[in-house]
Amino acid sequence: MTSRIKVQGGNGILLSVGTRTIALDPLRQSEAHLTFISHAHIDHLHKSTGAGTILTSKETAYLAKERGFSYNNVVNKKDGLELLDSGHILGSRGLLIDNEVFYTGDFALRPRAFLNRGETPRCEVLIMDSTFGTPSYKFPPLQDVIEETNKIIGRAFDKGRPVVLMGYPLGKAQLLTYLFSMWEPVYVHESVQRMNRAHSVFGIDFGKEYQTYTEKDSSLLGKKPWLLISPMRNGRSAMISELKKNYGAITIAFSGWSVNPGYCNSIRADYALTLSDHCDFSELLALVKACKPDRIYTCFGFASQFAAYLREEGHNATPITGGQKFISEYVQGR
């Protein structure tokens, strides 16, 4: 079967299987009749001209629209194509084609709050997220991160100091709202609130809607301490500078990249904790083991390094290069 498949990088991934051609998470409108969108992070969305059919989950279509990406001709299913939970963010899906080829999109194996473990179907060809595809990326158990965060918040609150929890406005910020809203009071940044509301539409229960913090007016923060769920911001940004100067706020950044020794300093956070919506290196290997593919294509992040590692382990592995998106959590706004 593998001789019938062609995988091409450049504009997301263009996949030909037999007579089907499918654009996987293209960066721009594709010529393919069918486009698959795995999830609603900006680096997996494209501006559509309206041509062709979009295959995606209803959650992703909704979240994309909330983020300014509208699609016509959206379908949630198609013959021979199965959308499987990829465990990354709300609505994220992998695509299983004819029970033979599996594209993971961005993928996570460990359950986190309201997110499930990504599904790992047996397949002949695996096109996989390799964001953290080098051995140095080893993530701690979620429970350890929760405990560490609560300790930092507890110590800060004892001193009357507020705490800012920072992560992507879509995905990470909802996990942070869900996991830490037992502290009082909780405020959420306006960009996070929009995405929290979109999650509530799909039944994710945050307990209640927390008050919205807007950067133009921080007067409601007057009474300290408080917890703010915020998009990732550099410590030198106007927003964090003001929160530090006026309230003595402590910042915690949540990211898989925090494994890098220079990460915390690079974004000028007080703390950086490892909470990721991707697999760590050992989980990537577990994904390969579960899917038992004959051929592997790696994409995103450390695609070349991970493919090289897999080849050394005896796998038939090729990185997809050329115009692929390098995922960086240093970039805001995903």
* 34/89 with CB nearer Zn ion: 89
Whether omega before 111 lies within 30 degrees of 0, making that bond cis, reads: no
Closest Cα partner for 44 from 138, 150, 141, 170? 170
Least spacing, CB of residue 112 vs Zn ion, in Å:
14
CB 301 within 8 A of CB 131: yes
Least spacing, CB of residue 104 vs Zn ion, in Å:
11
Residues numbered 197-256 forming contacts with Zn ion, rule: CB under 5 A: none
Measured between its terminal Cα atoms, the distance across the chain in Å is: 36
For Cα atoms 268, 274, 279, give the angle at the middle one, nearest 5 degrees: 135
* 106/283 with CB nearer Zn ion: 106
Phi, psi of 308 (to 5 degrees): -60, -45
Q: How many distinct helices (H) and strands (E) make up the chain?
A: 8, 18
Q: Which of 25, 59, 106, 129 binds Zn ion (CB under 5 A)?
A: 106
- Considering only the stretches 52-60, 102-110, 128-136, 258-266, report the one whose residues sit in contact with Zn ion under the rule CB under 5 A: 102-110
Least spacing, CB of residue 287 vs Zn ion, in Å:
16
| Residues whose CB is less than 8 angstroms from the CB of residue 211 and which lie 6 or more positions away in sequence, other chains included | 185, 186, 187, 188, 220
* 41/295 with CB nearer Zn ion: 41
Position 67 contacts Zn ion (CB under 5 A):
no
- Considering only the stretches 12-20, 105-113, 140-148, 267-275, report the one whose residues sit in contact with Zn ion under the rule CB under 5 A: 105-113
Residues numbered 33-62 forming contacts with Zn ion, rule: CB under 5 A: 41
Least spacing, CB of residue 333 vs Zn ion, in Å:
12
Least spacing, CB of residue 92 vs Zn ion, in Å:
7
Residues numbered 302-321 forming contacts with Zn ion, rule: CB under 5 A: none
* 57/186 with CB nearer Zn ion: 57
- Three-state SS at 36: strand
* 61/227 with CB nearer Zn ion: 61
- Three-state SS at 81: strand
List, in sequence order, every beta strand (DSSP E) within the chain.
5-9, 13-17, 20-24, 34-36, 53-55, 74-75, 81-85, 93-97, 101-103, 125-129, 163-166, 186-189, 211-213, 227-230, 250-254, 271-273, 295-299, 317-319
* 41/46 with CB nearer Zn ion: 41
CB 287 within 8 A of CB 279: yes
Q: Which DSSP category does 234 fall into?
A: -
* 69/226 with CB nearer Zn ion: 69
Least spacing, CB of residue 183 vs Zn ion, in Å:
27
Residues in contact with Zn ion, total (CB under 5 A)? 2
Least spacing, CB of residue 297 vs Zn ion, in Å:
18
Instruction: Note the residues at the interface with Zn ion (CB under 5 A).
Output: 41, 106
